Amino acid sequence: MFKEFAVEPEAITGSYREFAYVVEKFGVPEGRWISRFPKAWKALVYESAKSKLSGTMELSKIEERLRRIADDILVASGRTPADPAVSWIEAAVAEHGARPFDAIVASVRRDAPPVVALEDLDAEHPCLAPNRQWIVARTSAALAGCCAPLIGVSRHITHQSEI
For residue 47, give its domain range.
3-131
Question: What confidence score (pLDDT) does residue 40 get?
Answer: 92
The answer to whether position 57 is within a domain reads: yes
Q: Are 20 and 117 in contact (CB under 8 A)?
A: no
CATH number at residue 106: 3.40.50
The answer to whether position 42 is within a domain reads: yes
The C-alpha atoms of residue 82 and residue 7 are separated, in whole angstroms, by 17
The answer to whether position 154 is within a domain reads: no
The answer to whether position 29 is within a domain reads: yes
List the 74-75 sheet strands across, edge first.
74-75, 32-35, 3-7, 103-106, 115-117
Q: Which amino acid is at 157?
A: I
CA dihedral 143, 146, 151, 152 (to 10 degrees): 130
Question: What confidence score (pLDDT) does residue 158 get?
Answer: 79
Pairing type for strands 32-35 and 115-117 reads unpaired
pLDDT in tens, 146-159: 777 677 666 677 77
Q: Are 28 and 22 in contact (CB under 8 A)?
A: no
The answer to whether position 49 is within a domain reads: yes
Q: What is the mean pLDDT of the chain?
A: 88
The answer to whether position 163 is within a domain reads: no
The answer to whether position 152 is within a domain reads: no
Number of domains making up the chain: 1
Q: Which amino acid is at 20?
A: A
The pTM of the full predicted model, rounded to 2 decimals, is 0.82
